[in-house]
Structures are given as structure tokens and as C-alpha cells.
Amino acid sequence: MTETVEALPLGVAAIQMVSGPHVGDNLEAAARLIEQAVQGGAQLIALPEYFSIFGDRETDKVFVREQDGAGPVQQFLADQAAHHGVWLFGGSTPIACGHPGRVANACLVYGPDGRRRARYDKIHLFSLTRGPERFDEAATIEPGRTPVVVDCDGPRLGRPWRVGLSICYDLRFPELYRALAPVDLLVVPSSFTARTGAAHWDLLLRARAVENQCWVLAPAQGGRHPNGRKTWGHSAIIDPWGDVIAQRKEDGEGVIGAVLDPSRINDVRTGLPALAHRVM
């Protein structure tokens, strides 16, 4: 008879950054913040979208793109995960694709041994025209097509934690998260604009947690970047009932952490079995 192994509580951290155009400087900042997260007891750490490059121009990320499986940013993530013995979710990294003027905006996940365990390419590409603000990610990013779930395992975690991947603008598309369900945790590295973040960030994060009755870990860019753009920040950790467990209210880099209790998922899903009631 096979013994059932329960998931153990999981220490997580969301890293908030204000990345700039120089990859080396951004990696130094990320390393410092990862160290801080590890000192706080995190076993799973997530960096924000564009953590390694937030350029003066949208095309800057194309010029620093890496081939899949090789490059300084990918090596950095592998080394950091192995050095600290943690699960590391690399926000997003520009990876070469079939179009010379575009990149894949990829969330790369590394295990405690430094080996890459998953890659998710951002599916939904942000576009906004409101007054002087104009964004069109499709001009420099090739969209992904495949939802991705990764099982984070190890003796410190009991049974694997099933983690669904997404990036920023994906947050507005609940059908993506339904394709991932059921999961224990959703990771949403982001760089919401100040305008859209103020209006919708908390609302959307809490909605995805409530709909999927799971934890949400959302690291974000937050502050005034060298290119003049302001991102919303407010990196957050949300529980399966939609309660905000931790959130960074200030601009600027920093780390927030929490211990995720897997029994909270069971309590919510047993008391209100909405996932079991789905008919579509």
C-alpha cells in the first residue's frame, strides 16, 4: 500500500525591483535581493517580469536576447538556485525566437540543483493606448502558445507543490488559469503600469486566487525606472480565499515573504467546492 505524503508548508518570497537598461546592474540587485529572501527562510523565490533588462527602448531587450539554454542571465538563475538550494522563478528573460526583431518573453524555472525545470513563454501581449501612454508588446515579442505547470518537489516540501506559470498581462485572461487548474500556487511576475496597476492589480490577483482556490505569488516591478516609465509595484501574496497575506506598499526594491500552508487550500476547497462544481 502506497503511503500518502502530504505537502509541507512552503516559505516563499516575491522580489520587487526597479530594473534599468544594464543587465549587469540588474543581476547584482537581483542577487542581493535573493540573498535577503533566503535569509528570511524562502524555499521558493520569484523575480519580476523584465528583472534583467528594463530598457530605454522596447527594442533593447531584443539586443540582449539569449539563445535558449545559454547566456549570462540563464547562467545567473541556475547558479543562484543551486548556490542557495531554492526553487527560483526567473520572472521573464528575453530568449531568441524565429523572428530576428522579436524575442520570447520567457519565465524560466530552476530547481535547487540548478537544473532548469520549466519554461513558459508569455501568451498574452500587452497593448494600451490611453492619452500619452502607448504600449505594443507584439512589436518586439513573439507570443507563446502553451500553458505550463511545474511540480516543485524535494524532501523539504513533502509532496510536490503544483505551480502554474503566467506573466503580467496574462492576469486578465481567466481562461488561461482554468487551463492550469487545479494548482496549489500561481506565480505572476509582472510589470504593471502605474495606471493599470492602480485600477486593476489587486482586483485581478484576488480574482484569480478566488476562482482557482489557490495561493498567488506576484512579484512586480515597482517605481520610477531610468527610462522615465513608472510601474505599479505592490508585489503581493494572496491566499486561496482571496485575502492579501503580504504586500509591499512602497515603491522601490524589496522582498516580501510568507509561509504557505497547504491545508488552507484543502479548507477552502472542501468548504466551498467550486472547482468540483464546474460544468464547462
The domain ranges of the chain are: 10-272
- Extract the C-alpha cell encoding 90: 526567473
Q: How far apart, in whole angstroms, are the C-alpha atoms of residue 152 and residue 117? A: 9
Catalytic annotation present for 122: yes
Phi first, then psi, for residue 83 (nearest 5°) are -60, -40
Amino acid at residue number 16: Q
Q: Which pLDDT value is given to residue 3?
A: 58
Q: Which pLDDT value is given to residue 175?
A: 98
Catalytic annotation present for 168: yes
- Extract the C-alpha cell encoding 170: 496574462
Helix (H, G, I), strand (E, B) or coil at 24: helix
Q: Is the dihedral of CA 28, 33, 36, 38 positive or negative?
A: negative
Q: Report how far apart the first and last C-alpha atoms of the chain are (Å, whole number).
A: 35
Residue in the structure block whose three cell numbers are 511576475: 189
Catalytic annotation present for 152: no
What is the dotted CATH code of the domain comprising 10-272? Answer: 3.60.110.10
**Paired strand residues for 89:** 46, 109
Based on DSSP, count helices (H) and strands (E) in the chain, helices before strands: 6, 17
Q: Which pLDDT value is given to residue 257?
A: 98
pLDDT values of the chain reduced to their tens digit, one per residue, 280 residues? 455 678 899 999 999 999 999 999 999 999 999 999 999 999 999 999 999 999 999 999 999 999 999 999 999 999 999 999 999 999 999 999 989 999 999 999 999 999 999 999 999 999 988 777 788 999 999 999 999 999 999 988 888 999 999 999 999 999 999 999 999 999 999 999 999 999 999 999 999 999 999 999 999 999 999 999 999 999 999 999 999 999 999 999 999 999 999 999 999 999 999 999 998 7
With contact defined as beta carbons under 8 Å apart, do 30 and 253 qualify? no
Q: Which is catalytic among the residues 97, 107, 152, 168?
A: 168
Own/partner pairs for 154-162, CB < 8 Å, 24+ apart? Answer: 154/87, 154/111, 154/112, 156/8, 156/43, 157/7, 157/8, 157/10, 157/43, 158/5, 158/6, 158/7, 158/8, 159/5, 159/6, 159/7, 160/7, 161/7, 161/10, 161/44, 161/185, 161/262
With contact defined as beta carbons under 8 Å apart, do 130 and 200 qualify? no
Q: How far apart, in whole angstroms, are the C-alpha atoms of residue 116 and residue 47? A: 15
Q: Which is catalytic among the residues 66, 97, 122, 152?
A: 122
Q: Is the dihedral of CA 11, 179, 235, 240 positive or negative?
A: negative
CA–chain centroid gap for 219, Å, is 6
CA distances from 193 to 62, 174, 188, 224, 225 (A): 21, 20, 15, 10, 11
Q: Which pLDDT value is given to residue 276?
A: 94
